[in-house]
Structure 1
Amino acid sequence: MRHRAVVRPRVVAFMVAAMLATGAQALPSFEEVRRDFRPSDSLLLDRNGEVLQRLRTDSSVRRGQWLALGDVSPALRHAILLSEDKRFYEHSGVDWRAVSSAAWGNLWNRKTRGASTITMQLAGLLDSELHMGPGGRSMAQKIGQTLAARELEARWRKDQMLEAYLNLVPLRGEIVGIDALSRSLFGKAAHGLDEREAAIAAAMVRGPNAKPALIARRACEVLRVMQADPGTPHASAPVSCAGLDLFASTVVQQRTLNAGDGIAPHLARQLLRADPTNPGSRPPLAVRTTLHAPLQRLAVETLRQQLRELQGRHVEDGAVVVLDNASGEVMAWVGSSGELSAAAEVDGVQALRQPGSTLKPFLYAQAIAEQRLTAASLLEDSEAQIATASGLYIPQNYDRHFKGWVSVRTALASSLNVPAVRTLVMVSPDAFQRQLQAAGLPLKESGDYYGYSLALGSAEVSLLNLTNAYRTLANGGRFGPTRVVPATAAGNKAKPESTQAIDSRAAFIVGDILSDANARALTFGADSVLGTRFWSAVKTGTSKDMRDNWAIGWSQRYTVGVWVGNAAGAPMWDVSGTSGAAPVWAALMQQLHQKLPSRAPAPPAGLVRQAVQFGDQREASRDEWFLEGTQQAVVATDADGETAPQPGQATLATPRITSPVAGTIIALDPDIPPQHQRLRFTAAGPDQRWRLDGKPLARGAELRWLPWPGRHTLQLMDARGALLDEIRFEVRGAGLATGARPADVRAAR
């Protein structure tokens, strides 16, 4: 019996040792452990690597970032060593003095600290077969843990073992590692923990889920040992145990790592996610973006400050985008006002909203490029009733007043609505929709769906797309995509491809108008928030019922877009273009150009600068930009008593048919006499000659035609018979009186 009692344990020990020695050799290297470590939060970084946002991407555990040993406070490192393994730097994996002390205490039924060293605990964390179960480790596991610790000591350095231990040690609840503990319970990085906090953390390593009172007692013991140890990096003043109970109770109640301390949550949710096309993919650990952290912080705070000042006017949401003109890189992306919003999860940068008057620059650019208008052309700002398929469209100005005849420069800079609608009548909604699409503003419906209200922003666009469309104007009409990931990542091209979306000459003229403080004075005053001490061009907009307010503009280097409103679509109260989004735009532009100059762009080829006088002195004489061939010295209306342009002068615009609009369908009413259903033809330009269905019809700027059912082609000709413009329309319904034929129909003025 005695022989069996001696031999059997030896055989078992030998078998266990041989088995676990093989497992110990399979322990990973320090580099492998660090490489495979995955935080529970992914990081959104700015262009320089600064953390913008943390986003929880693993709900099963709470792990922070891997910390280098130098990023852990000296107080915490010392507290852990004194509490868990004070001879860590002396032993070779097993502290035999601690083993002897523990065995002696067990012999006399004295409660002592376990003999498990940091190296042994680390071995248990690295090998799943050595993990401690609910009843503690078995004898076989303890032997294996000892062997694995010896293997670690042979292959790893001491600083590597301590660094890995601090990153992998399980702590309170779901928390793993010192970084997660520091940020979730103490609200700071691990390098900032003081002696008291370090003592609490060390106590939690010993008993992760102990009650606060027990944690406080253990922390007090650690604190006393620390202060008695000559190697402790003491604080400037001794720290006592007084108040540790209350402090421990407060600390353990902090259960979550605050991921809201970031400043770019919406972009983080977009970029820090698994590939939806690959079911097995995992979220990236970190993504470096084109954002600039100081500018992002400024944009967040400036927007929130402005919305605080608007409290009481039913405004709680906003968004900001800042683009680099040359590269298209997004430098700031603020999706909401955060805690000020009842819908903070909604990303206002990508949400679709009505842009109001911010579409007008693209409309006038198109009209100028097509030579329908010049910057000096006069448009009538008066009550208008425009027939549409669904009834009469009656546009109004923002202030409900009309200004009479104004130049295109004044109409655009002062954001007058009726002249813009009259311009869209010339261009046509469908053609304007195609222009917007080319500038990166895809609309859900066709231009005819929106009708003439499209001139006033009745469609829906995102702040990102709208700001990039303004960047197109800033770049001489060339459209290029935006990007939030640097060109060096994901194989992006250093310079994205661009296309000519807007005539460069028209883009220059529109920019010159939007930078003209005198031209905008009619609506905004001579000294508005839109004015800057450097060159900039800007446009504001307010959608129907004051639901959205915008300020979009550019400088030589940057384009800034701002939206304020309510994510739920509720209207604001008494918020105008200059009191809502514009102050945020102005503050950001001022900061961007605090030390950086912004100069006016050079005019492209094909432009002429001409002195212009206005008939009846409707506007002050000035130098104006024209597309070459459209310049004129005098601009007047018939009411001014002015004569037609002199020989050698270009006309006000190329003659065009202004009514009816291409594709119009006219329905005749059989109960109304035909002579009372005449269709009005109008054209812009001098010496008009009309042809209908290939036959001469009449001369003059306006005529009234007795309609005949069918599809018709209406043409505008010059004196030499050259085609100037052509549209097609259809007449449906009752015919004319019996015996009448189309050839017999004569136009009436």
Structure 2
Amino acid sequence: MSDSGRGKERLVADRRYPKKATPAKPKPKAATVAKKTAPKPAPRRKGPPPRRSRNPIVALFMGTFGFFFGLIWRIVWRVSAVAAIVLGLAVAYTYTTVPPLDHLLDGRAKGSVTLHDRDGKVFAWRGDQFGGTVTADSVSPYLRDAVVATEDRRFFMHPGVDPIGIASAIRINLSEGRGPLQGHGGSTITQQTAKLLCVGVEFDATKWKNEAEYVSECRQGSLARKANEALYAMAMELKFTKNDILSIYLNRAYLGGGAYGAEAAAQRYFSKPASALNPAESAMIAGLLTAPSSLAPTSNIERSRNRAATVVGLMKDQGYLTAAQAQDALAHPAVLSDAAEARAGGYFADWVMDTIPDFASVESRQDVEIRTTLDQRIQRAAEDAMNAIFNEKVSEGSTAQAAIVIMSADGAVRAMVGGRKTGVSGVFNRATQAKRQTGSAFKPFIYATALELGYGPYDTVVDEPFCMNVVGSGQWCPQNYTKSYKGRVTLTEALAHSLNIPAVKISELVGRDKVKQVADQFGIGSDIDNTPAMALGTSEASLLEMTGAYAGILNGGSSVRPFGLVELRIKGDADAMIGAGGGIGERVINETAAKELIFMMHDVIEEGTGRRARLEGREAAGKTGTTQAARDAWFVGFTSDYVAGVWMGNDDNTPLKGVTGGGLPADIWREVMVRVNEGIEPRPLPMIVPQRPAPQVAPQQQQPQQQAPQEERDPVGNFVNNLLRDILGGN
């Protein structure tokens, strides 16, 4: 057979080393073999891609930046760590200085006085009112929410300081053209509380001149002060709960009208506890936190309501009120209580405050309650009467002032108006503080002295031109206001027509020292001139003194000490510390003399200078008074139930224009008494109407010897005139 068809074997060299034996591998399946025979993709590179070549300038810049950034970062985090440690230590130390919660709730430096009228109703407040401790849980939830919504919407989220709020405040300040720290401060409620606490620094009389200086320093807005407040705020956040901090704030914040704290404000403006406030009332109180004095509803109710509407909007936006609740609060804004609305008796309250002892005043830390004699109905009557006369009869632009005092016969003051402007306090009180010449309003004390010494209302005296020599001053010639003379008149006629000459003669007859004594015992405490001109009312007295003296005439001749305080007690105590501070005192003139004097003063209104004060269907008695050049005009008088005094004049003592005591003061007095006696059954005055002497019959020509001489027919009048003519040098 031929081998030409078979290929030749390849020529290979022999292996030098024998091949190691390997285990036989299984024969791959066809698919596997095919896969292996397929071309493999390039393996994926692991790790960063190869760097591309960088510009050397860029590389230098980036390297330098990286070096400095790293350096700054290492410094910053180290400094921050140190600062955090220091801050933590400072907060920890401050934490130890924060007093207990109970010590922080009532921060007033002074006490309060609450004044009640004769019926027990509150009508005025003085000092720092504090209605009592409240908590965030005990007040109305609307009030709590309103305060948070208005003052610090993130209150329950921040640690005492709110960086977001600070940044927002800075942005607003810059957008409004102010410095970053001028205007909005971004303070949290906790920071505001720290400020109210004066960051734990209490008043020290050796360090500050007074509490006002202390408070001023506590309220300063320097950066150092704000930093201190922030530190104290964070310490408080560690020591107290959020509700505790809010409770301190609700108790310490000043809310206008002398009210410190939510309870005092609720009582002051709405006569209800803080737990009973509705949304509108809560919004109004919360709105006061921005500017308590100017926004107080007792100062400007409309401005306060506008601010409350803004608060209602904030509460709605933050989910504290539903849309329906917000709409209702806007449709029915808060209304002041009757006591807050009336703002009654400001002058009266000021006067009462001046009469209480120091240990019970607002300077003490005690809370005091006083029951007074004030009758708010009569107070309104007095104010309305004065306003009516000034609106109807006084020319616009007049600077004339007026004052009114009304009291009972025992001296209990029922109303007081110290000037034309009503509803105010802390201002000049012309009823008690102004000492003015009394004019002819002083004359009843001259005739009271004469009646006490035995003279009668129908005894006579001659009204005529008259002069007398005054030691050290020479000749003095008084005149009547009308510069005319009536001849022989009774004492009743002399008083009714306010004749000066008879008043001087009677005063000199009975003795100036006795007249002075009677006036002083009736309550005219001012120095009385010891000159003949005393009879014309040249001495000064306050309206309160004059009205009290006339009350002594009405009550039968006993002295009266006007009073407004009935009892004073420390709040919460059952027993009163002080009782009534006035009333009826010792007898000055006998009862018969007093009743005869009332009859004579009744004739002043019926027939004399006080006719414009006449009351329809009711007996009244009084006396007019006008001083030299009409600088002062008076009318003081009484019915069987009340005594009222009215004074008019200018504060600078310039003359009034066309005003006498029988004019506008009598008009005011009448308007007052018409209102005061409304609804009161008329009662007669306690007066004695003396029997008139039998009329003199013309003497018969055939019996001239039976005509009694003038001296015998009128011995008192002639004795007065002869004494003054012959002894005192009259002509």
TM-score (norm 1): 0.60
Matched residue type, 1:23 = T
**Aligned counterpart, 1:485:** 565
Shift of 1:506: 0.6
Matched residue type, 1:614 = P
Matches within 5 A, 1:596-675: 596-600=680-684, 602=686, 610=691, 612-616=693-697, 641=707, 659-660=722-723
Q: Residues 68, 376 of structure 1: CA spacing in aligned structure 2 closer, same or farther, 3 A cutoff?
A: farther
CA distance in 2, matches of 1:282, 1:155: 30
**Aligned counterpart, 2:435:** 352
Q: Among residues 145, 148, 159, which one is paired with 2:236 in the alignment?
A: 148
**Aligned counterpart, 1:128:** 199
**Aligned counterpart, 2:93:** 19
| SS, match of residue 561 in structure 2 | coil
Tell me if 1:466 matches 2:550: no
Tell me if 1:376 matches 2:376: no
Q: Deviations over 1:362-407 (max 9, x none)?
A: 2112112212x21122333334444544444444333333333333
CA distance in 1, matches of 2:710, 2:637: 38
| % identical aligned pairs | 22
Tell me if 1:82 matches 2:154: no
C-alpha contact (below 8 Å) 2:161/2:191 kept by paired residues: no
| Ranges in structure 1 where 5+ consecutive residues have no aligned partner | 58-62, 106-110, 170-174, 203-219, 240-259, 618-637, 667-678, 681-749
Name the structure where helix makes up a greater proportion of residues. Answer: 2
Shift of 1:470: 0.6
CA distance in 2, matches of 1:189, 1:353: 32
C-alpha contact (below 8 Å) 1:53/1:265 kept by paired residues: no
C-alpha contact (below 8 Å) 2:639/2:685 kept by paired residues: no
Q: Deviations over 1:334-389 (max 9, x none)?
A: 222249xxxx8473543222222212222112112212x21122333334444544
| Ranges in structure 2 where 5+ consecutive residues have no aligned partner | 1-73, 169-173, 175-183, 202-217, 262-284, 332-341, 570-576, 699-703
CA distance in 2, matches of 1:144, 1:443: 57
| SS, match of residue 581 in structure 1 | helix
CA distance in 1, matches of 2:403, 2:714: 44
**Aligned counterpart, 1:514:** 601
Name the structure where strand makes up a greater proportion of residues. Answer: 1
**Aligned counterpart, 1:264:** 346
Q: Deviations over 1:500-539 (max 9, x none)?
A: 112221111111222247x8425566xx333353232211
Matches within 5 A, 1:417-566: 417-442=500-525, 444=527, 446-447=529-530, 450-451=531-532, 453-488=533-568, 491-493=578-580, 496=583, 498-516=585-603, 520-521=606-607, 528-566=612-650
Tell me if 1:361 matches 2:444: yes
Shift of 1:578: 2.8
CA distance in 2, matches of 1:230, 1:191: 25
Further displaced range: 608-617 or 282-291: 282-291
Matched residue type, 2:589 = I
CA distance in 1, matches of 2:135, 2:402: 42
Matched residue type, 1:478 = S
Q: Residues 662, 535 of structure 1: CA spacing in aligned structure 2 closer, same or farther, 3 A cutoff?
A: same
| SS, match of residue 560 in structure 1 | strand
Q: Deviations over 1:457-477 (max 9, x none)?
A: 232222221111111101211
Shift of 1:140: 9.9
Q: Deviations over 1:49-97 (max 9, x none)?
A: 6455879x9xxxxx99999799999877544333555587xx6xx5689
C-alpha contact (below 8 Å) 1:179/1:189 kept by paired residues: no
Shift of 1:563: 0.8
C-alpha contact (below 8 Å) 2:404/2:417 kept by paired residues: yes
C-alpha contact (below 8 Å) 1:46/1:293 kept by paired residues: no
| SS, match of residue 34 in structure 1 | coil
CA distance in 2, matches of 1:608, 1:103: 84
**Aligned counterpart, 1:589:** 673
**Aligned counterpart, 1:337:** 420
**Aligned counterpart, 1:405:** 488
Matches within 5 A, 1:81-120: 81-84=148-151, 118=189
Further displaced range: 548-557 or 403-412: 403-412
Further displaced range: 297-306 or 128-137: 128-137
Shift of 1:564: 0.9
Aligned residues: 569
Matched residue type, 1:128 = V
| SS, match of residue 565 in structure 2 | coil
CA distance in 2, matches of 1:140, 1:381: 83
C-alpha contact (below 8 Å) 1:120/1:148 kept by paired residues: no
Shift of 1:184: 0.4
